[in-house]
Amino acid sequence: MDQKTSSVSMDARIVRYGDLIPCKTAFIDAHTPGSDSKENFTIIGGGVSESPDQHVHIAETPGFNIGAAGQPPKCRNSLHSHRTAEVFYVHRGRWRFFWGRHGSAGEVVLEPGDIFNIPTGIFRGFENIGTDYGMIMAVLGGDDAGGGVIWAPQVIQDAEDHGLILAETGQLVDTKKGQSLPEGVKPRAQLTEDEMKNFPEVPVEEVVPHYVGRYLDMMALAAHSPALIIGEHGLIRDKPGFEVEFINQTSLSGAQGGDGRHHILMVHEGHWQVGWKGETRTLAPGDTCAVPQGLSYELSPAMTGTGSLFRVVNTGDPAGPTATDLD
């Protein structure tokens, strides 16, 4: 990447939190009571939205996708699974994450700044249990985000009962709008009972200790330099095709870029300044910045007070299931 990256080209790679464009019909449960008021955002890459109305802010992918889900209180996202990593961190609100065929195998409550690398191969859902509109940010492994969503059978049935059919081609058909499946196209088949055996009921004691990172712990780990949160030797050990680092206002050593990898900056708290070749931009909470590959930059707090952000970088590992053999 040319080190003379202009301010104009960098501005095109910054997605401001206040400029995020939601889609309210992104998934098959968009009409299902309890899930019909959620909003989906695709920030980097096309994500896994099933709706042609989904707005994509930055189409180019660095080996993974960045998205977000916004939900009012008591709204939930239905049980689903992915073939590649799905990592969430809570930006705003209080959230309950649950998993299992019927969402009863285990659950964990996360607060702002907490992160969850949900193991692949299990059905998972999440619910805003706070008192205000909440937002969770997401990283999905792979340029194609794992090829889409795998829904629990009851989710597909509930959706059909409320007028939405998922075609075998991956597109939603809204019968409430008079739409119907194209000729020769069938509804996507529900998983059989034999196929459901591939989605285990993982107990909570096997999930929370190994896949959850708490904000206060990460703040302590990043006291002097960026802390590796998800990675082969991270707090959460995994090789999903990307690494996640945590940086706070005192993580000055090692907060520079330009190592040839894609660097995605996701601000959680405070204001941060990105500087390169005499240019600077300030990032605010909720902003996402896709630094051009190979561009040397400096990162520093833009004001006093608490600040934190997540930095996601690509690795040479292929996107795939959660690693279980790193010991």
**Of 194, 211, 228, which residue sits at a domain end?**
211
* pLDDT score, position 76: 95
* pLDDT score, position 305: 86
* pLDDT score, position 94: 98
Average pLDDT over residues 31-55: 91
If one counts the domains in the chain, the total is 2
More confident residue, 110 or 304: 110
> Does one domain contain both 174 and 229?
no
Is 288 a domain residue?
yes
* pLDDT score, position 35: 93
> Does one domain contain both 43 and 125?
yes
Three-state DSSP state, 9: helix
Which residue has 């939405």 as its token pair?
A: 164
Rg over alpha carbons for the chain, rounded to the nearest Å, is: 20
What tokens appear for 59 in the block?
């189409």
> Does one domain contain both 205 and 222?
no
Instruction: Give residue 325's pLDDT band: very low, low, confident or very high (50, 70, 90).
Output: low
> Does one domain contain both 189 and 115?
yes
> Does one domain contain both 290 and 253?
yes
C-alpha–C-alpha distance, residues 242 and 75, integer Å: 30
> Does one domain contain both 88 and 57?
yes
* pLDDT score, position 322: 84
**Of 211, 226, 242, which residue sits at a domain end?**
211
C-alpha–C-alpha distance, residues 165 and 74, integer Å: 24
What tokens appear for 306 in the block?
């608490």
Is 11 a domain residue?
no
Residue 1 has pLDDT above 80, yes or no: no
What is the value of pTM for the model shown? 0.93
> Does one domain contain both 240 and 133?
no
Q: Which of 221, 79, 255 is nearest to 158 (CA)?
A: 79
**Contact assessment for residue 122 and residue 129, using Cβ atoms and an 8 Å cutoff:** no
Is 324 a domain residue?
no
Residue 207 has pLDDT above 90, yes or no: yes
Instruction: Give residue 146's pLDDT band: very low, low, confident or very high (50, 70, 90).
Output: low
Is 3 a domain residue?
no
> Does one domain contain both 30 and 61?
yes
Residue 186 has pLDDT above 70, yes or no: yes
Dihedral angle of Cα 142, 102, 94, 114, to the nearest 10 degrees? -40
What tokens appear for 202 in the block?
């993982």
Is 322 a domain residue?
no
Judged by average pLDDT, the poorest of 41-55, 68-82, 130-144 is 41-55
Is 292 a domain residue?
yes
Dihedral angle of Cα 171, 88, 282, 250, to the nearest 10 degrees? -170
CATH number of residue 226's parent domain = 2.60.120.10
Q: Which of 1, 2, 16, 7 is nearest to 278 (CA)?
A: 7
Q: Indicate the DSSP class of residue 309.
A: E
> Does one domain contain both 167 and 286?
no
Structural domain containing residue 72? 19-211
Q: Dmax of the chain from CA atoms?
A: 61
* pLDDT score, position 8: 67
> Does one domain contain both 77 and 197?
yes
**Contact assessment for residue 85 and residue 139, using Cβ atoms and an 8 Å cutoff:** yes
> Does one domain contain both 200 and 269?
no
Is 188 a domain residue?
yes
pLDDT tens, residue by residue, 214-256 = 999 999 999 999 999 999 999 999 999 999 999 999 886 555 7
Is 153 a domain residue?
yes
**Contact assessment for residue 264 and residue 257, using Cβ atoms and an 8 Å cutoff:** no
**Of 187, 211, 235, which residue sits at a domain end?**
211
* pLDDT score, position 2: 47
* Helix (H) or strand (E) run with residue 157 in it: helix 153-161
> Does one domain contain both 275 and 130?
no
**Contact assessment for residue 251 and residue 227, using Cβ atoms and an 8 Å cutoff:** yes
**Contact assessment for residue 118 and residue 211, using Cβ atoms and an 8 Å cutoff:** yes
Q: What are phi and psi of 196, to 5 degrees?
A: -65, -20
**Contact assessment for residue 315 and residue 39, using Cβ atoms and an 8 Å cutoff:** no
What tokens appear for 224 in the block?
């002097």
